[in-house]
């Protein structure tokens, strides 16, 4: 069954909506150049209010390993997502140092990008079109991928059902696709989950 990750959460209102909708993962962005950046102390406060069944994920981009360790040690995340140009060695070091699963994100434009992603030692790969800009990429590149992956980039309530039915990804990741004017939109979040559920249970079954 396809998992769901809501990313870029930054407000208590976001957490309240997430706790009702119950996605599998909730992402906090620790890249300071992102408009969705949250300080570690804010992430801790938000994570403490999160439904314990939802896995909080820390999103980092070319961060110093010590910073990742420090944030992991606060207890605000349970999985690390690397979204920059990190090496496979860095993936291993991050897993060893934090004791947490590592998701490694890749920007996919060509088959060479995809081949690099498939060979990662990360626990899970994320296939994206950019760095949180909501940029889609050519899904035909993924039609023969056997390794489980999280699909990201350009997903929204109107196209996620098609993506799941066509590609059968392990998970889907959304941020800008559930926003209005840069703020998480509870109606869009709800419609996104409804579309995912429709793809999971096309005939209304459990």
Query: What are the structural domains, with CATH classification, of the chain?
Result: 3-200 (3.20.20.70)
Pairing of strands 149-151, 171-174: parallel
Calpha distance 190→6 (Å, rounded): 11
Least Cα distance to 1 among 198, 171, 173, 191 occurs for 171
> Rounded to two decimals, what is the model's pTM?
0.93
| Tokens 């140009």 sit on residue | 85
Calpha distance 168→166 (Å, rounded): 6
Count CA within 13 A, CB hemisphere, residue 82.
Answer: 31
Residue 54: helix, strand or coil by DSSP?
A: coil
User: Quick one: pLDDT at residue 149?
Assistant: 97
181 contact partners, CB below 8 Å, separation of at least 6: none
Instruction: Please identify every residue annotated as catalytic.
Output: 7, 128
Q: What is the pLDDT along the chain (206 residues), one digit of tens a residue?
A: 899 999 999 999 999 999 999 999 999 999 999 999 999 999 999 999 999 999 999 999 999 999 999 999 999 999 999 999 999 999 999 999 999 999 999 999 999 999 999 999 999 999 998 765 556 788 899 988 999 999 999 999 999 999 999 999 999 999 999 999 999 999 999 999 999 999 977 654 44
Calpha distance 125→128 (Å, rounded): 10
User: Quick one: pLDDT at residue 133?
Assistant: 55
The answer to whether 134 and 175 have CB atoms below 8 angstroms apart is: yes
């Amino acid at each position: 069954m396809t998992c769901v990750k809501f990313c870029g959460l930054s407000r208590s209102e976001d957490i309240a909506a997430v706790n009702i909708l119950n996605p599998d993962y909730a992402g906090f962005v620790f890249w300071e150049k992102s408009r969705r950046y949250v300080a570690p102390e804010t992430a801790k406060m938000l994570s403490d209010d999160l439904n314990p069944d939802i896995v909080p994920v820390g999103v980092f981009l070319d961060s110093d390993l010590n910073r990742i360790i420090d944030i992991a040690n606060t207890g605000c995340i349970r999985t690390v997502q690397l979204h920059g140009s990190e090496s496979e060695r860095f993936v291993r070091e991050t897993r060893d140092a934090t004791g947490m699963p590592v998701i490694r994100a890749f920007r996919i434009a060509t088959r060479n990008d995809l081949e690099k992603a498939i060979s990662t030692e990360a626990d899970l790969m994320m296939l994206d079109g950019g760095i949180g800009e909501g940029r889609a990429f050519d899904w035909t590149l993924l039609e023969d991928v056997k390794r489980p992956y999280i699909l990201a980039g350009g997903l929204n309530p109107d196209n996620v059902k098609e993506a799941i039915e066509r590609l059968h990804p392990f998970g889907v990741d959304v941020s800008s696709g559930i926003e209005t004017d840069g703020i998480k939109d509870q109606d869009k979040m709800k419609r996104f989950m409804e579309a995912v559920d429709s793809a999971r249970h096309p005939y209304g079954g459990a």
